[in-house]
Structure 1
Amino acid sequence: REASMKEHGGPEGMDPDGVIESNWNEIVDNFDDMNLKESLLRGIYAYGFEKPSAIQQRAIIPCIKGYDVIAQAQSGTGKTATFAISILQQLEIEFKETQALVLAPTRELAQQIQKVILALGDYMGATCHACIGGTNVRNEMQKLQAEAPHIVVGTPGRVFDMLNRRYLCKYYSLLVYSFNDFFFSKIL
């Protein structure tokens, strides 16, 4: 990870000076000034972040404050970490139920998002499960029921199936769609 760090202090492809259009005026250019949980900050710095990217500077705070946010940016600008940090900040770790649902267009992206969430939330004790097709449905139901992960990241088909079976509909209050233009062109 350290080999891919750029001079601005973030992972490769994360330009903190990227062009952003926003109706949110507050820009926070330091993770320490975002009033994040100490355990989350430890996870952020352990992951290799030093300074928030442009999208993170503008979108984390409104997400945490409960606003509906649409964040569009090129690949590699920090969108996944933006919503992961926002979700992790709002989790009630003591509450052992699924509190957030993230939808991703592919199994691979769902698993990638899960890894980011687990890494950033490592010091918090946050749990995250990838609910994806191609896995055993019965095992999926048992895992969701027995473990009740704080966050579920999944593909639409499997998540829809688990919702219909009533394994994912009790307590979550956060919903994130992590889709790209290609996905939307397929469903339109």
Structure 2
Amino acid sequence: MSDTTFRELPISQTTLKSIEKMGYKKPTEIQEKAIPVVMEGKDLIAQAQTGTGKTAAFGIPIVEKVNPKARKIQALVLVPTRELAIQVVKEIKDIGRSKKLFALAVYGGKSIKHQIDFLKKGKDVVIVGTPGRIRDLIERGVLDLSNVEIFVLDEADRMLDMGFIEDIEFIFEQTPKDKQTLMFSATMPPSIKRLAEKFLRPDYEMVRVKPEEVTVDRIKQIVYRVDENKQFEKLTESLKEHPETKTIIFTETKKEADQIADKLRKEGFNASAIHGDYSQAKREKVLRDFRRNQLQILVATDVAARGLDIKGVDLVMNYSLPRNVESYVHRIGRTGRAGKEGTAISIMNTQEDNLFRLIKKITKADIQFENLSDKEFTKPQSKRRFTSRRRYTRR
């Protein structure tokens, strides 16, 4: 946490009142670095994870810059998931409460007619939405972006992973050329840098924060290496060793999430999956139950879990390793938060040796083998290539 106070940043008294009511004491690192840059009117690319306070890093400047009395859309925020759209709108509304700012979340899985009706009222000056639904509303002629002054890409890397690039480019072209563009991304692969070069003005600034390096130190990391047909057995054994523990299990696919949650329930565990094929009502119920501790185990894909603010997670489990190091760090960072210690267990199969070596090399983490010594593990293995990214279907 920074020693700087919000009052030392270029923020009005009106907005400061709202921030104080929200319980914010001091700005996080990303807020301290990004807010002055954005308030100067510069374009920005920021590397920041979920949980760093990045929403307020662009939400506070948006509230400061837009005119709530002008009946036109002045800020647009693109996000990869419905849950993140809802969360971002709530935070922007809370920050702009003293200014009586109107903001609207638009996303698939909910009545488009209802969203169109809100847009026609002309009150909303900030729109937050998923690329697919934003494009749909533009093509229907009900979403006018010609007055947008601030354009934000939140979780930019995840949107590219999900195949939204064409939608993003289409939406970008519907906005004025002289707008301010902000990009927030958890990782900085070449595709994000290319997008920045295309969208941002040449004098854009870049800021980076990496909170996981601190968080990981408080997480006990354990790995079991088993044959693929023994993975579920090891999963249930590990869960039984951690009874009544609030747990997130990560899987690679939606189908796998459903299958594992179903098998766990048959074994007597209080578990449910969450992913994009569920209705919005079902997703919200699952998350509500998990937050209230009425559900013990949440089985999720990376995409479904991205952007979710879930506190008090004691255990994270990887049912097979993620395909890239950034995802591994992001997953295990769901525990060990707010100064507390956490545990992360990975159940890797014998085909994932090279991938795990890469994770251990880059993270430099103290990872504990439970059923295999380091010496045994370092025996020569056949080479195998792993892709750094996976492409997700558009939702």
Give, in whole Å, the separation in 1 of the partners of 2:15 and 2:135.
30
1:175 aligned to 2:151? yes
My pick for the range that moved more, 72-81 or 100-109, is 72-81
TM-superposition CA deviations, 1:119-144 (whole Å, max 9, x none)? 11111101110011112222221210
**Superposed displacement of residue 182, structure 1:** 3.5
Q: Which amino acid aligns with 2:159?
A: F
Structure 2 CA distance, aligned partners of 1:38 and 1:165?
A: 40
Structure 1: give runs of 5+ residues left out of the alignment.
Answer: 1-14, 18-28
Give the stretch that moved more between structures: 132-141 or 121-130.
Answer: 132-141
Q: Is residue 56 of structure 1 aligned with residue 26 of structure 2?
A: no
1:37 matches 2:12: yes
Give the Cα–Cα distance (whole angstroms) in 1 for the partners of residues 77 and 161 of structure 2.
20
Greater strand share, 1 or 2? 2
Report the AA paired with residue 134 of structure 2.
Answer: V
**What's the secondary structure of 1:74's corresponding residue?**
coil
Q: Quote how far apart the aligned CAs of 1:82 are.
A: 0.5
Q: How does 1:17-32 map to 2 (within 5 A)?
A: 29-32=4-7
For CA contacts below 8 A with separation 6 or more, give which structure has more relative contact order: 1
**Partner residue in 2 for 1:104:** 79
Larger radius of gyration, structure 1 or 2? Answer: 2
SS of 1:135's equivalent?
coil
- The equivalent position to 1:71 in structure 2, one of 46, 54, 59, is 46
Q: CA RMSD in A?
A: 1.7
User: In structure 2, the residue corresponding to 1:172 is in which secondary structure?
Assistant: coil
Distance 2:111 2:158 in 1: 27
Q: CA deviation at 1:166?
A: 2.8
Residues 59-85 of structure 1, C-alpha deviation per residue, up to 9 Å, x if partnerless?
Answer: 001112211111112221111110100
1:102 partner SS: strand
Displacement after TM superposition at 1:180 (Å): 5.0
Letter in 2 for 1:173: E
Query: What is the one-letter code of the residue matched to 1:42?
Result: K
Structure-1 residue corresponding to 2:232: none
Residue 10 of structure 1: aligned partner:
none
CA contact (8 A) 2:66 2:125 kept: yes
SS in 1 for 2:124: coil
Matches of 2:136 and 2:49 in 1, distance apart?
Answer: 31
Task: Tell me which residue corresponds to 1:145.
Answer: 120
2:5/2:26 contact within 8 Å kept: yes
Given the alignment of the two structures, is residue 163 of structure 1 paired with residue 138 of structure 2, yes or no? yes
Provide the TM-score with structure 1 as the length reference: 0.80
Match in the other structure for 2:66: 91
SS of alignment partner, residue 104 of structure 2? strand
Measure the CA separation in 2 of the matches of 1:186 and 1:162: 20
Aligned to 1:123: 98
**Segments of 4+ moved more than 4 angstroms:** none
Q: CA deviation at 1:184?
A: 2.2
What is the SS of the residue equivalent to 2:128? strand
Q: Extract unaligned runs of 5+ from structure 2.
A: 164-390
- State how far apart, in whole Å, the 2-side matches of 1:131 and 1:41 are: 27
Residue of structure 2 aligned with 1:154, choices 124, 129, 149: 129
The alignment covers a number of residue pairs equal to 163
d(CA) in 2 for partners of 1:176 and 1:47? 23
Q: For residue 54 of structure 1, what is the amino acid of its counterpart?
A: E
Q: Residue 70 of structure 1 aligns to a residue in which SS?
A: strand
Deviation at 1:97, TM superposition (A): 1.5
